[in-house]
Structures are given as C-alpha cells and as structure tokens.
Structure 1
Amino acid sequence: MSLDLNAIKLDKQYVVECIDTHTAGEPLRTIVAGIPEPQGQTMLAKRRYCQSEYEHFRRALMFEPRGHADMYGALITQPEHPSSNFGVLFMHNEGYSTMCGHAIIALTQLHKHANTHNGHEEVALSIDTPAGTIHSFYRDDSDIVKFTNVPAFVHCLDESVHLPLYGQVSCDVAFGGAFYGFVNADELDISLSLDNHSELISVGQQIKAQLAPKLNLDHPDADMNFLYGIIFYSNSQLHNTEHFSRHVCIFAEGELDRSPTGTGVSARVAILHQRNQLKKGQSVFIEGILGAGFHVAIDALCVAYQRDAIVPVVSGQAYITGTHQFYLDPQDPLIQGFILR
C-alpha cells in the first residue's frame, strides 16, 4: 500500500517536534517545539514548574509507546542569564534531573549541525541548567565536543550499607551536577556486562534505597540534595585495556545509562583527586557498558559550595538518530504512556 505522509492531516496544537540523538549509546530526545515555555525566572524554578505542570508531557514522550523505560529527554528553554545561548531541562522515567553531561554533548552537537562556522575556530556555548551554567565547545572540523562542568566535590568516602546477598557494601558519594554513590564492582564480584543488566539494575536500586536515608546531603541549593544514582565502576572489566575504568550507572527509577554518565565521571574524578589518584591536568578515559565513553580531566582546583572542589572537563561524541513529529492525541486512552520492563 502506498501512503503519502503529507496527506495525513494532524491538528498542529497536538504536535510535538523532537530530535533524537545518542551519546556513547545513551539516548536523548530533545524537544524543540510544541511545548510552551515553562514559567520561572531561574532554571530551578522552571524545573519545579515542569514537575507540577508538565508531567503529562514527560510521560507521553519518555514512556511507551513513544519511548521506553530507559529513554532520556531534554526540553530547550529560554536562558536564565542574558549572556547564555539557551537553557535546558532534563527528564527521564522518574522525573527531572539537575544536570546531564551526555545531553550537553548532544545539544552542542545539534548546535553545530544547525550553524556554520570557521572549522578551525572553537565555538563556545553557554547553556543554563538547574545545576548552573555549563560552557561547551566544538569546532566544525572535529566531531569531539567538550564541556566544562559545574564544580564537583566529594560528600563522603567509605559509607557502608548492607545487602542480604552481598553483605557490607562500601560506597563513596560525590557531586558532579547531581549526587552519586560509587561502588567497586570488583569488590562485589558483579559483572558490568550487557548480559548482566538486570542484576545491575536490581542491585543498584537496592543500594540506592539503603544509602539515600543515611546521607545528609548539603548542596546550597536544596533542590539538588537527593541521591540521583548508583555508579558501579571497575578498573579491570574493560572493553579496551588502555581505558582507565568502566562505569555503569543506575539512576532514576532503575534506568541504566548506556554512557559512563557525564556528571558521573565528573564526580568520579573528584573522588580520585581526593584519594590522590588523579592530579590537576591529568585526563582519563572512562567507558560505559557498550565500550564507548568520555575523556575527563581536572581543569582546575577551586572552592565551591563552601568546600574544596574541582572543575571537570568532559569530552565525547554524539550522533543524530532521527527526527520526530509526535502526535499527542487527546482522545488516546494511553496518552500518558506506560512502561513495561
């Protein structure tokens, strides 16, 4: 049967336009049109507005049948600061996060596709997020994108939780745009392989449930003070033995990040620096569960949030996978979506 897509008439008020990308395998659905600008003078205020008013949009675009349990999204907004290029809010299967490194890389790559510059000159963007303003950089003659993240710091080292099947589990907790608990997968004897994804999700959720109540998180912005995810790491389970480490992050409501997590690698280097395992200016490559990943380095030492911190620089690659015109039919009984795992 021949079908002319142009012959299908859709009510434009129910159309949402998106561009899909992936960064080291982790998806990003960027919403570029069809959702009204969220209210609020700051990105944190816009985030709170979305939490109270835009849940129907999040569920419709992240959940099945348009998305899936591990879909991730970004909503482009007006910037908080006049000097910034744009603002962005991040969403997933549970709600709205505060910063996302893989999304920053993808959004910077989209900006590159939409604009033509001198290939030898570095183009700088300022992107407002709930965690703060992120500075990202690209050149037309390179597929590498890098960004300077908000300051990262260690909250605590060697916090312990107990799991029935694993006993005592040691966790380091650090902030890299969001708070993460870090667990040495080798000490647990747990595989960071694709075929072990179900166990990683289950154990990650168990650790998060045990660890979160024990933490007195103290970021100055109260909206930041929640444990976003658990990152399993290994310096031996590597796709490429020249890489430094592998990360598998379980975040939100059991999402498994395909990338090593941009904010996660930022938090990890803060831990490495505090343990005297990484110095200012040193760069390491951290891979995700698929083998692709990010370079991350300590650009500077600083004092932020009334504590010693580091300034991470993360670089990686992102690719466009498709464009969409989603139709949110108000008569659809499943408009709010659903998730099956």
Structure 2
Amino acid sequence: MEMQLPPHEGSELSVVDMHTGGEPLRIILSGYPEVKGDSVLSKRRYVREHLDHLRRVLMYEPRGHYDMYGALIVDSELPEADLAVLFMHNEGYSTMCGHAVIALGRFAVDYKLVKEPKSPETQVNIHCPCGLVKAFVEYSEGKTGGVRFLSVPAFAFATDVTVTVEGFGEVTVDISYGGAFYAFVNAQRFGLDVSKSRTRDLVDAATAVTRAVKCQVKLDHPASDDLAFLYGTILTDGKDDYSSEPTANICVFAEAQVDRSPTGSGVTARVALQYHKGLIQLNQTRTFQSGATGSQFTGKAVEVSRFLFSCGIRVITSCSKSGKRQKCIL
C-alpha cells in the first residue's frame, strides 16, 4: 500500500546539523528570505525585526530544542571575509560564538566555500557581528580536522564588582569580553560544583547572577552599542592560576540556555580576564573543560592590541574535534 504525503506548505529550509564538543550548531543552507542591511550588524537587526519567526521555527521544538544553536550565512561587507554569519539561539541573536566558528571552519572547507584548501591548515575568515575572526582548519588528503581561531580583541571590563543577587545576597563577579560579555563567578560561592552539581541548580544560580548584573551594571563597548549587552554568566571551579591541569566551567547564556562545550567566546573572555589579573602570561596555553560534558578547548593570549579607547588581547582558542550529525530538510 502506497501512502501519499500532503502537499508541503510554508517555507522550506535546508540545514546541516553539526556539533563542537557536544554543543549543537544548525547551519542554514537555503530557504531564508533576503537579509537586508549594509553591514553584518545591520543584518542582525533586520532578522531580529523582520524574520524572527524563522529563528523560532529552527530553534524551538518540534524541529529544534531549548538548547539548539543556529548559524545563518550572509554576505559580508569586508572584502577579506570568506563568509559572514549571524548566530541565533533560544532568546535571539548573539554577537560571537566560538563553538560555531570552529564548526563553520570545517563546514566552509568541506562545502567548498573556500577555494583551494591548503595543507596543513586552511585559513577561513569569518565575519561575525563582533568583527572578523580567523579560523584555521587542519586539512590533509582531502579531509578536515581540528580547528583553532584567532578571535577579536578581548578585554576585562570590570573586576570584583559586587551585585545583589536575589536569593543569594551580595555576590562579587568579574565581567569580561570575548566577542560577547560574560559575568564570571566561582560556583563555590553558591555551594555548587560545576562538574558534579545538578544542572538545574547551576542554571538557577547563573541566571540569578545574569539578571542582577543586567539590572545593576551598565556595559559599554568601544566599537558599537550593539555589542554592549551581557550574554550570560559562567560559573567556574575557581582554578584561575596557571596550571597544566584543566580548569572547568559551565556557561549559562541567553534564556537559561546551557552550553555543552567549554564555550569558545567564554574561554576567550576568561583568558583575557586571567591575563588582566596576571594569572597567565602571553602564549601560555590553558585547557578549559566543560562541566556539562567534559569536552575541552585550549586557549591562550597571543598579543596585546590597542583599539579605540580600550586595551585588549588577541586570543587563540582551539578544539580537536567538531562532528557532523546529519543533513535534514525542515
């Protein structure tokens, strides 16, 4: 007996699902309407104001889930960029995403968005809303491997800031930027362990911190007001002094969304913070571990750079594995 499916109605969106360190990335191949704007930041505003229904289709159930993450490839105004990208999640649109950059590096080479890949590494210039990020993809005998990326300048915004957190009283946090702003606090302040405590308890504590910082601390970015918002809170194991042993953290961002990876932009921000405090030196590689999955990224500060009115550092973050899951039509 043959069954005939009803005619398809609505938009047809073609995507490829990948992951980096367990954190998903849904890359939209086709089906999106024209995204208007003369810059990546203006395109980000356009999709937020005019095409947000498609974000909900891709991120929410039944096609997605609460912790889904997405990437929409768009045109860049920068001649040196191989591609530009808009990031999306359960709340809206981010300005930077390191795990996505790692996956997009492999995607760009595998899907031939970069001409003539080279061994041992192929450079992929990815224009993110926060700026140009350079990914370096291992390439040998037609296959891609590990990926590292040189991020935009990162900087410590404020240290030892005291905020009043509902249910916890006064809490001291650090705030740092790695393409997005994060608040950092030792999980032990809440009697929690980033690798052993219940995820729900970690999420509740981090979310309470995020709400407090958003209400009580005014952020600003030297390049654009569009970048001046708190993306989330990262709870750490407190092991900030340099060590060859991994240090663990868990990132809760957007609308209480949990990152399965160590968080690429979060690692960048944490390296900048540790460098600012004199806990690590230039070119000292640290290993950062996800409290959720145990996956690891490495990161190091490679140079001091001055931009506009701030002083920042350039950070390289890398991951040895980024896996493809499946191609699907929504």
TM-score, length basis structure 1:
0.88
1:130 aligns with 2:154: no
Structure 2 residue aligned with 1:315: 318
CA distance in 1, matches of 2:254, 2:310: 27
CA distance in 2, matches of 1:274, 1:83: 30
1:69 aligns with 2:66: yes
1:13–1:34 Cα contact (<8 Å) kept: no
Q: Find the residue that maps to 1:15 and give its secondary structure.
A: coil
CA distance in 1, matches of 2:175, 2:60: 30
Aligned-CA RMSD value: 2.2
CA displacement at 1:119 relative to structure 2: 6.2
1:42-66 CA distance string (max 9 Å, x none): 0000000001011110001100110
CA distance in 1, matches of 2:276, 2:81: 32
1:212-241 CA distance string (max 9 Å, x none): 1222212030011111100001156xxxx9
- What is the one-letter code of the residue matched to 1:20? D
Unaligned runs of 5+ residues in structure 1 are: 327-341
CA distance in 2, matches of 1:94, 1:233: 23
Q: Find the residue that maps to 2:108 and give its secondary structure.
A: helix
Structure 2 residue aligned with 1:299: 302
Structure 2 residue aligned with 1:189: 191
Q: Find the residue that maps to 2:318 and give its secondary structure.
A: strand
- What is the one-letter code of the residue matched to 1:59? R
1:76-110 CA distance string (max 9 Å, x none): 11122122111100000110011110000001111
CA displacement at 1:13 relative to structure 2: 6.4
1:129-187 CA distance string (max 9 Å, x none): 11001111112236210111000001100111233543322100011001000011123
1:14-67 CA distance string (max 9 Å, x none): 210000011111111010100023100100000000010111100011001101
Q: Find the residue that maps to 1:32 and give its secondary structure.
A: strand
- What is the one-letter code of the residue matched to 2:128? T
CA distance in 2, matches of 1:251, 1:2: 47
1:37 aligns with 2:44: no
1:123–1:137 Cα contact (<8 Å) kept: yes
Where relative contact order (Cα < 8 A, 6+ residues apart) is larger, the structure is 1
Unaligned runs of 5+ residues in structure 2 are: none
1:227-265 CA distance string (max 9 Å, x none): 1100001156xxxx9643112111101101111111111
The percentage of aligned residue pairs carrying the same residue is 36
CA distance in 2, matches of 1:285, 1:205: 25
Structure 1 residue aligned with 2:146: 144
CA distance in 1, matches of 2:27, 2:196: 26
1:291-337 CA distance string (max 9 Å, x none): 112110111111124111100111112110111100xxxxxxxxxxx
1:146–1:314 Cα contact (<8 Å) kept: yes
- What is the aligned residue count? 320
1:175-213 CA distance string (max 9 Å, x none): 100100001112332121366111111111111111112
1:115-264 paired onto structure 2 within 5 Å: 115=112, 120-141=119-140, 143-163=145-165, 165-193=167-195, 196-219=198-221, 220-235=223-238, 243-264=245-266
- What is the one-letter code of the residue matched to 2:311? D
Q: 1:265 aligns with which of 251, 264, 267?
A: 267
- What is the one-letter code of the residue matched to 1:156? A
